Amino acid sequence: MINNCIECEHFSCNDINTDGFLLPGKDIKPEKIRIIMISEVPPDNKEDYFYSSDKSDYMMTTIQAFKDAGIEVNSLNELYEAGVYLTTAVKCPKLQYRISAKTIKSCSKILEKEISYFTKVKVYLLMGDVAIKAMNYIGKRKSGGKIIPAGSTYKIRNNEYFYENRKAIPSYLQTGKNYLIEKSKRVMIAEDIKKAFEFIEN
């Protein structure tokens, strides 16, 4: 399990709840994964996390996002069988609305190690600004440059970006109550998920 292989070395960030440190706990065969969907942070309540239940808040909106894209799944296992791995850029719940660049940069080192296990992955779905920033920190450490350029997501999302020959798609956050409210973002999320599947199928 991924959560048995990775840990935080310091727990020194002051704008997240380090007591809530959370990594996926499912027994996963990394070679099955083609798409990694990276969201923002774990929920305050662990019961709402992707890997807690198919009826958890995070899973219900995520499943709906895939259905909106025409991918008929109803559970975490079905997403896994479709080659999708779900995780977060930051591994602890946030204490306030915004997360500092320092925290995202620090957590990106954990994310970098996490995604390195998935050698067959073809697409990174970057769900929201925190995921985009975290991947950019990884890109800077690896190659000295950003993966995704600065700019509003709706303006840059239709361009093509790659990290180590894998497609990186900037999108919007698919977890939380805002997902059900912001209909234009919901449409764009569905389009981005569809693009990810089209890419792995070609």
* Confidence at residue 137, expressed as pLDDT on a 0 to 100 scale: 97
* Confidence at residue 169, expressed as pLDDT on a 0 to 100 scale: 98
Please give the average per-residue pLDDT across 89-102, as a whole number: 92
Exposed, middle or buried by CB within 10 Å (0-12, 13-18, 19+), for 30? Answer: middle
* Confidence at residue 63, expressed as pLDDT on a 0 to 100 scale: 97
* Confidence at residue 4, expressed as pLDDT on a 0 to 100 scale: 61
Q: Kindly tell me if the per-residue pLDDT of 18 is higher than 70.
A: yes
Exposed, middle or buried by CB within 10 Å (0-12, 13-18, 19+), for 109? Answer: middle
The alpha carbon of residue 39 and the mean position of all alpha carbons in its chain are separated, in whole angstroms, by 3
Q: What angle do CA 156, 101, 19 make, to 5 degrees?
A: 120
Q: How many domains does the chain have?
A: 1
* Confidence at residue 76, expressed as pLDDT on a 0 to 100 scale: 95
Strands 166-171 and 162-163: antiparallel
Q: Kindly tell me if the per-residue pLDDT of 90 is higher than 90.
A: yes
Q: What is the pLDDT of residues 19-56, one digit of tens each?
A: 888 888 778 899 999 999 999 999 999 999 999 999 99
Nearest to 106 by CA among 199, 183, 14: 14
The model's confidence at residue 72, banded by pLDDT at 50, 70 and 90, is: very high
* Confidence at residue 15, expressed as pLDDT on a 0 to 100 scale: 86
Please give the average per-residue pLDDT across 6-11, as a whole number: 76
* Confidence at residue 3, expressed as pLDDT on a 0 to 100 scale: 60
CATH code at position 75: 3.40.470.10
Q: Kindly tell me if the per-residue pLDDT of 105 is higher than 70.
A: yes
* Confidence at residue 180, expressed as pLDDT on a 0 to 100 scale: 81
Q: Kindly tell me if the per-residue pLDDT of 1 is higher than 70.
A: no
Q: Kindly tell me if the per-residue pLDDT of 2 is higher than 90.
A: no
* Confidence at residue 111, expressed as pLDDT on a 0 to 100 scale: 96
Q: What is the pLDDT of residues 141-191, one digit of tens each?
A: 988 889 999 999 999 999 999 999 999 999 999 998 788 888 999 999 999
Range of the domain at 131: 2-201
